[in-house]
Amino acid sequence: PIKQAAHACAPPSSVGDGRFNVAVTVRGDGHVNGVIVQDAPEVDVGGCVADAIRATTFPITAAGGSFVLRFVL
């Protein structure tokens, strides 16, 4: 779902090499607690991708977690 939402932010051909690195922190209840776009070809598209990730809900865990999401549009 995240990649599909990110594709809605911009057509692949409009974002240079299309590579994104996004640090994500998720609470134990599965809701996104923090998003930091570490690398994006364009600021506006990076913000849109961050918003798409914030709207995502992950599986519930005891302690939550964090990870870096890397993908190419």
- Tell me the average confidence (pLDDT) per consecutive run of 10 residues in the chain, 73 residues long: 77 67 95 92 82 93 94 78
* Token representation of residue 13: 């051909």
Which residues does 49 contact at the CB level (< 8 Å), separation at least 6? Answer: 5, 6, 9, 20, 22, 37, 40
Q: Give the model's pLDDT for residue 58.
A: 93
Q: Which residues of 19-56 are buried (b: 16+ CB within 10 A; e: fewer)?
A: ebebebebeeeeebeebebeebbeeebbebbbebbeee
Q: Give the model's pLDDT for residue 15.
A: 56
Three-state secondary structure call for residue 7: helix
